[in-house]
Amino acid sequence: MGAGVVQRGGGGGGKRRSHAKRRPMSEINVTPFVDVMLVLLIIFMVAAPLLTVGVEIDLPDTSAEALPTEQEEPLTITISADGEIQIQNEGLNGAPLIAKLKAIAAERESDKVFLRADGGVSYSVVAEVMGALNSGGFKNIGLVTDAGGPALDGTDQ
């Protein structure tokens, strides 16, 4: 920050007195500080909206172990080809799906759930289960798929 020297005494062009007192200027020049803060404010105002834009995807399960920061295993809902719905590896056994999901949601900290559906299951069944998951308190739904499917340009990968 700029600190200058204030001179006392005459200022014209004459002889300078050797005994003129010089004392340091005690005020801080805050103008450069304010300029830097305003530039940083503008940068963050422009950059902040760009950080939230993106497409969220959940990758398929792998054999890798979960990161240590995950506190609990994500809930997995499976719809088989014959329309049977399983939570983790257990069938519903006649229990209503939404009531069972609400009971599970009350015990869990995370609202993350993975939905696995057979390719032969109709879209309406998958949509109904997603609606039940939403009603049961699970808002973070990830669809699990296999990798290596056809590309959007029609070629196989």
Confidence of residue 35 (pLDDT cuts 50, 70, 90): very high
Structure tokens at 36: 């830097």
Cα angle for residues 138, 142, 144 (degrees, 5° grid): 135
Parallel, antiparallel, or unpaired: how do β-strands 75-79 and 85-87 relate?
A: antiparallel
Model confidence, pTM: 0.50
Beta carbons within 10 angstroms of residue 104's beta carbon: 16
| Digit-coded pLDDT (tens) for 68-127 | 555 667 788 888 888 888 888 787 766 788 888 888 888 888 888 888 888 888 888 889
- Per residue in 130-142, pLDDT (tens digit) is 998 888 888 888 8
- 68 residue type, one letter: P
> How far apart are the C-alpha atoms of 149 and 157, rounded to whole Å?
6
Confidence tier at 55 by pLDDT (50, 70, 90): very low
Q: Contact, 130 vs 141, CB < 8 A?
A: yes
Task: Give pLDDT, residue 34.
Answer: 93
